Amino acid sequence: MENLVYIALFAPLVGSLFAALFGMQKKNAITGIVTSMLLFISFVASAILFNHVMTVGPVHVRMMDWIMAGDMLIPFGFLVDQVSVTMMTVVTLVSTVVHIYSNGYMDHDKSFNRFFSYLSAFVFSMMVLVMSDNFLGLFIGWEGVGVCSWLLIGFWYHKEDVSREVNPSISPSWAANEAFIMNRIADLGMLIGIFILYWNIGSLQYDVVFAALPNLSDGILVAAAVALFIGAMGKSAQFPLHTWLTDAMEGPTPVSALIHAATMVTAGVFLVIRANPLYSMEAVHWVSYFIASLGTFVAIFAASMALVNRDLKRIIAFSTLSQLGYMFAAAGLGAYWIALFHLAAHAFFKALLFLGAGNVMHAMDGELDIFKMGGLKKVMRWTYLYMGLASLALSGIGIAGIGFAGYFSKDAIIETAFNEHTYILWVILVVTAGLTAFYSFRQVFLTFHGNERYHEIGAHPHEMYTYVLIGMSPLAILAVIAGFFQDWFEHFVTALLPEYHMSEHTHHLSWILGLIVIAFAVGGIVLAYVKYNRGLKRNEKLEHSFVYKLLANQYYIPILYEKIFSQPYAALSKFSWAVLDQKVVDATVDGIGHIIKSTGDNTRKIQTGNLSDYLRWMAGGALLLVVIAFVAFKLSQGAN
Amino acid sequence: MITIAFYFFAVLITLLFLVTVMSKNVLYAMTSLAAGMVLISGLFFILGADFLGVVQLIVYVGAVMALYSFAMMFFDVNKDVKEKNGSAATVFLLGGAIALMLVLVFSAPMIGQGAASLYPQVAGATNPQAVGLVLFTKYLVPFEVAAVMLLVAMIAGIILAGKKMDLSLSTTEEEILDETQGGDK
Amino acid sequence: MIGLSHYLILSGILFSIGLIGVLRRKNLLMLFFATEIMLNAANIAFAAISSHYHDMAGQMFAFFVIAVAASEVAVGLGLLVILYKKYGTLDLDMYTVMRG
């Protein structure tokens, strides 16, 4: 089993390094094939490990001692238990599909090989993140995925910056930097959390840390929980660190599907789930409640912005944000297995949605404005089917125990909110479910139904390559059927995660609760159908209303951030450059140079070229030496 | 007796060397230098370094002084040397200070009193014998090297001084000399 | 009684006289003379120490100093001849081509 762990972990790294060999060359189909194959191998290994964990139990390998300094001992170990093996399987499965997809999607890109190198490196980092058996290894993976995310968002770094009105993300390189910097801010919090744990416990191994938690004082527990959650907020793009995720859509679509929907952004949820012993502590219950509240807030906050957005990928990005909010709500309320379940289900249908959006984008020559599409179902039947399925899954359609993946996972979260008597959260989550259904199908209808507006921009849509569509099918199947594994999954992960059961009261009411959610979801879909099925009818009055503008501009938060943080910081930097650097630092350095130069200028008179003068200097020096020796000798004698 | 001899030699040597250093006339300077060297060999005899004293006489007073006198004739400096001695005060101050320091250092109590001798004089041997014993055993290699060095110095001296000996100094212009030297390379 | 210190002090004084000569004189030939004085001063010290410790090493050094001095004179005078041919003088103040 140990070898399988290493195969699952290092196969993506091998693929990445292999692709990197061809990094600067022009497209070489073999890099795509080899990395996809290696990812598939990694997936198979993860699947076997999944089976092993299910039948036998967790695998814990210790590869080597990593940091040994004094009392500090941090081994480089990997833990494959119920939680990490779930993540591994999800990550490798989605990655494999995305790799296969990218073979088609990136077909015409000149940096084809580089792309695969980055993508596989990302998968490797993600595997380190989920498989590590200690917080520091997790942090390494955490930073690794951050770097890969940066590389991939800025993959088309050569694009010029444009104004915010033209493209809200300004440029790929700008978006990449935004994502990276925002994550740095959050990572500082995470690092502090890790430090707090290490100082107070003396170890970073999960098992040691969790065993020692009851001995810690409340203040320390709260501090560690808050600090770690700040890290999770950054990676999972929770408010107020959420702006980077939509801008990250500047990256190639497979990247959005893999990193910014299915895997990396869920790392924050994973962290909270992983650290569930900490977040379940009585002392930190209000932190957990805050997590749930923030998650709920982000769910509706992001969904509201998705309502009016016109950019295909951004809508899905907001939807991702919203669904991450759901996950945090579940994790904050103590239903860790439900959060993990939604994480996995979401990974499938959201990746599918993104890949479908990628197909559309590919078909429309990079056009993403859904107002300029319409009627695409005729030419893109399979993509239509996939995106329709994914949207149904996202909306949580289903009834009486039969439904799409999202029906099971999201309903469970909403039910949890009711069960915890947090009715406000429950109401918000139900409303959000309706909004989710509306914006998902607004997008589907605007893209695939109605009049064919794409003729106006002269696009000639065409279906994606067949092998790509076949490659996407596993996700489609899982988006449909993943929900049926709910009970089985619960049984599997609650071996490690705390069990969570609905109370009797909730249980009795669950069919009503389910009906309410379904009513909202169907209501959303119907509304979208009524409004958009016939084609786009723009409502000028609505589009100029304050609320619409507020939502379309993301509540003006990016602009606010720019005004509050970026511009003062730029001013400060300019000040530092003009005053501190040029007038203080440079002046000091120049001054030293001037002193030396003037010393040289003044002392060059010594260099008369006359031997006599040199001899005099020499004699003077000799005299000085003798005097020093004599005085020193006398002093040393006096000291004795 | 030895005390008288020491002071006699010491005072005379000092005076003679002062003449050497101060005299404007090269001939005087050289003569006093030679005389001083002779007297130094006297000191060596007092110290029991008979062989060294003889070598001093032969090498310095004989060979070196002869070389200098030839050089003096060659350079035709048997006339008062015109020198600009700019800051005499500096020179004497420096020299005096160093002399003072050396005197201070040397008059200080010896701290290496118990130093063991590396090559003790063989009992009963005369000084030349003793010198020979050490020189041809412990210092054989340096001795041979010194011999080679002297040979090298001789050849160097001949080559350096012997170049263009056929050219008359009084009639040659500096440019021509430069030219011929350049062409010689 | 004449001790080691007497010789050493004499040697120091002679050395200083030589030094003054080196510093003061501008004629290269005179510089050579002064150098000889300094070497001889050192020789006196060597011989005195040798005698004081009954050790031949000092005298050996004095021999080698004499050998070096002889070589120096031979090479040095050769160089002086060349200098004299080139500049027509032995005055140090005339050789300031290395002025910085």
Q: Which is higher by pLDDT, B172 or A131?
A: A131
Residues 6+ apart with CB under 8 A from A593: none
Q: Note whether A609 contacts C99, CB cutoff 8 Å.
A: yes
Report helix, strand or coil for A63: strand
Mean local confidence (pLDDT), B132-155:
90
- The residue in chain A having the minimum alpha-carbon distance to the alpha carbon of residue C95 is A610
Q: What is the pLDDT of residues A348-363, one digit of tens each?
A: 989 999 999 888 888 8
What's the structural domain count of chain C?
Answer: 1
Host domain of residue C70: 4-97
| B29-45 burial: b if 16+ Cβ within 10 Å, else e | bbbbbbbbbbbbbbbbb
Name chain C contacts of B157, Cβ cutoff 8 Å: 74-75, 77-78
pLDDT band at B184 (very low <50, low <70, confident <90, very high): very low
Q: How far is A623 from chain B (nearest CA, A)?
A: 6
- Ranges of residues in chain A with a pLDDT under 50 are none
CA-based nearest residue to A278, from A206, A326, A346: A206
**Interchain pair A610, C23: CB under 8 A:** no
Considering only alpha carbons, which residue of chain B is nearest residue C22?
B21
Contact C66 B56 (CB under 8 A): yes
Compute CA distances A112 → A35, A249, B109, whole Å.
12, 19, 87
Residues in chain C: 100
Q: What radius of gyration do chain A's Cα atoms show?
A: 30
Give the residue on A whose Cα is nearest the Cα of B84.
Answer: A612
Whether C26 and chain B come into contact, CB under 8 Å, resolves to yes
As a whole number, mean pLDDT of residues C30-59 equals 89
Other Cβ atoms closer than 10 A to C30? 26
User: Which residues face A494 on adjacent strands?
Assistant: none
For chain B, the structural domain boundaries read 1-78, 139-180
Amino acid (one-letter) located at A295: G
Residues of C in contact with B154 (CB under 8 A): 74
Phi-psi region of A288 (alpha: psi -120 to 50; beta: other; left: phi over 0): alpha
- Contacts of residue B105 in chain A, CB cutoff 8 Å? 626, 630
B176 pLDDT higher than 70: no
pLDDT for the residue numbered A14: 93
- Provide the CATH number for the domain around residue C20: 1.10.287.3510
Find which of C15, C19, C20 to mutate to test the A interface (most A CBs within 10 Å of its CB): C19
Q: How many CA atoms lie within 13 A of A295 on its CB side?
A: 32
Q: How confident is the model at residue B114 (pLDDT cuts 50, 70, 90)?
A: low
In whole angstroms, how far apart are CA C29 and each of B75, B158, C14? 9, 18, 19
The confidence score (pLDDT) of residue C29 equals: 86
**Quick one: pLDDT at residue A402?**
76
Distance between CA B18 and CA B34 in Å, rounded? 13
Q: Is A59 helix (H, G, I), strand (E, B) or coil?
A: strand
pTM of the full predicted structure?
0.69
- Tally C-beta pairs within 8 A across B and C: 239
Tokens of A562: 């720019």
Count of residues in chain B: 185
d(CA C19, nearest CA chain A) in Å: 8
- Are the beta carbons of B117 and C50 closer than 8 angstroms? no
pLDDT recorded at residue B77: 64
Nearest to B95 by CA among A619, A500, A583: A619
Res. B18 pLDDT band, cuts 50 70 90: very high
pLDDT of residue A596: 94
Which of the given ranges, A466-470, B86-90, B117-121, has the highest pLDDT on average? A466-470
Tell me what the mean pLDDT of segment C18-34 comes to. Answer: 87
The complex's ipTM?
Answer: 0.89
pLDDT in tens, A23-77: 888 888 888 899 999 999 999 999 999 999 988 888 888 877 777 777 777 788 8
| Vertex A111 angle, CA A108 and A113, to 5° | 100
Tokens standing for residue A33: 């094939």
Alpha helix (H) residue ranges in A449-585: 466-481, 486-493, 504-532, 540-543, 546-552, 557-561, 567-575
Collapse the DSSP code of A368 into the 3-class scheme (helix H, G, I; strand E, B; otherwise coil) and give the result: coil
From B78's Cα to the closest Cα of chain C, the distance in A is 12
pLDDT in tens, C57-99: 888 899 999 999 999 988 988 888 888 888 777 787 777 777 7
Across B71-141, the runs of DSSP E, i.e. the strands, are: none
CA distance B44 to B13: 13
Q: What is the DSSP letter of A311?
A: B
- The amino acid that residue A250 corresponds to is E
Give B175's pLDDT tier (boundaries 50, 70, 90).
low
Q: How confident is the model at residue A46, as a pLDDT?
A: 93
Would an 8 Å CB–CB cutoff place A624 in contact with chain B?
A: no
Q: Hey, of B106, B127, B176, which one would you mutate to test binding to chain C, going by the most C CBs within 10 A of its CB?
A: B106
Subunits next to A (3 or more Cβ pairs <8 Å) are B, C
Subunit contact B105:A619, Cβ cutoff 8 A:
no
Please report all neighbours of C, defined by 3+ CB atom pairs within 8 A. Answer: A, B
**With 50 as the cut, is the pLDDT of residue C54 above it?**
yes
Q: Hey, is the C-beta of A621 within 8 angstroms of any chain B C-beta?
A: no
Q: What mean pLDDT, rounded, does chain C reach?
A: 86
